[in-house]
Amino acid sequence: MTILELKFDKKIYSTKVRPLWCPGCGDFAMFKALKEALYELQLDPKQTILVAGIGCSSKMSDAVGVYGLHNIHGRAIPSATGIKMANHNLNVIVYGGDGDMLGIGGNHFTHACRRNMDLTLIIPNNHTYGLTTGQTSPTSDIGYKTKTSPKGSFDRPVNPVFAAISAGATFVAKVSSADNKHMGKVMTAAIAHKGMSVVVIDQFCITWNRINTPDYYADKYFDVQETDHDLSNFEDSLLLANMTGDRIPFGIIYHTEKVKSFEENYSQLQGKSNVERRSRQLIDVSDMLDSYI
Ligand SMILES: Cc1ncc(C[n+]2csc(CCOP(=O)(O)OP(=O)(O)O)c2C)c(N)n1
């Protein structure tokens, strides 16, 4: 793209709000990467919405210069689903932590993946509940000591990449908040994908999580894009996603265009969106409202 073809300046993707994040938090890097992706795709801020849950990371919806909906905890996905049903022409990005998306919102996560709706779900996974001061989350490692697990967590952690692929998402990637450029590139590809895309970010929480630090991952990551892995192979992608321990896959892990999206399957979502159709037949509800007074 040449400069002349660019319709939206980088600045447009920021608001004046700077959320209260700890100095050095991975949220800053994710903010930068997300803005890069929006700019790269030249998404119209008036046709784009960021639907966030509740958590440190979810404050992102205040900072990014597109429409935003700061939701209740665990319910960002159903709200985003409703928005997409009402206006499938919008670019809908869902954003929320591991607690939000895999704990209280875990049910919605599974069903959104299975539907393959054209949503992008970004999960900053800091393996802890950051905002509420560091309790055990569904992705916490075994042995992680917190106020809610003083002797160390003994529940087996959810593997979000494995869970997303097995539930039916059609683009699934794992990135790191320590690698800004890579994160931006993968977010760009995820947003451009037609269907459910899930980007799981290993995010570093410098205040509450002293286990999952950049050093912890440094020797373990290997770049999937540097291997001969066939991204469209479901079984191989699951095997790759299941790798934890000393070797952890990093990059796009599964990608297929072969599965129809929810919007393509749903006859009412062909052509005009529901909001465009509705506007032609406004219904006067004043009598009904008066009857409640
Ligand atoms: C229904 C409900 N239950 C619990 C809470 C308390 N709460 C707020 S944020 C949060 C977890 C945040 O963790 P996560 O989603 O991983 O995001 P992070 O803060 O780590 O970015 C919890 C339990 C709430 N706000 N609403």
Strand, coil or helix: 220: coil
What's the pLDDT tens digit per position in 79-99? Answer: 999 999 999 999 999 999 999
- Regarding the beta carbon of 177 and ligand 1, being less than 6 Å apart is answered no
pLDDT for res 184: 98
Give the predicted TM-score (pTM) of the model: 0.94
pLDDT at 283 over 80: no
pLDDT for res 108: 98
- Regarding the beta carbon of 127 and ligand 1, being less than 6 Å apart is answered no
C-alpha pair distances (Å), 197 with each of 5, 30, 155, 220? 27, 17, 27, 24
- Domain extents for the chain? 14-290
pLDDT for res 2: 58
Ligand 1 centroid from CA 261, angstroms: 30
Rounded Cα distance between 18 and 104, Å, is: 26
pLDDT for res 5: 76
Ligand 1 centroid from CA 224, angstroms: 32
- Regarding the beta carbon of 134 and ligand 1, being less than 6 Å apart is answered no
pLDDT for res 4: 63
Q: What mean pLDDT is predicted for residues 267-283?
A: 80
Ligand 1 centroid from CA 77, angstroms: 15
- Regarding the beta carbon of 137 and ligand 1, being less than 6 Å apart is answered yes
* Percentage of the chain lying above the pLDDT 90 cut: 86
Contact 197, 171 (CB under 8 A): yes
Which CATH class for the 14-290 domain?
A: alpha beta
pLDDT at 261 over 60: yes
What band does 218 get if pLDDT is binned at 50, 70 and 90? Answer: confident
pLDDT for res 3: 59
Burial 172-194 (b: 16+ CB within 10 A, else e): bbbbbbbbbebbbbbbbbbbebe
What band does 1 get if pLDDT is binned at 50, 70 and 90? Answer: low
Q: What mean pLDDT is predicted for residues 148-163?
A: 96
Burial 35-48 (b: 16+ CB within 10 A, else e): bbbbbbbebeeeeb
pLDDT for res 286: 87
pLDDT for res 235: 98
What band does 65 get if pLDDT is binned at 50, 70 and 90? Answer: very high
pLDDT for res 56: 97
pLDDT for res 276: 85
Contact partners, residue 114, CB within 8 Å, separation at least 6: 167, 168
Q: What mean pLDDT is predicted for residues 112-126?
A: 98
Rounded Cα distance between 58 and 52, Å, is: 5
**Mean per-residue pLDDT of the chain:** 94
From the CA of 101, give the closest atom in ligand 1: 15
Shortest-distance Cα residue to atom 22 of ligand 1: 132
- Regarding the beta carbon of 100 and ligand 1, being less than 6 Å apart is answered yes
pLDDT at 278 over 70: no
Q: How far apart are the first and last CA of the chain?
A: 57
What band does 246 get if pLDDT is binned at 50, 70 and 90? Answer: very high
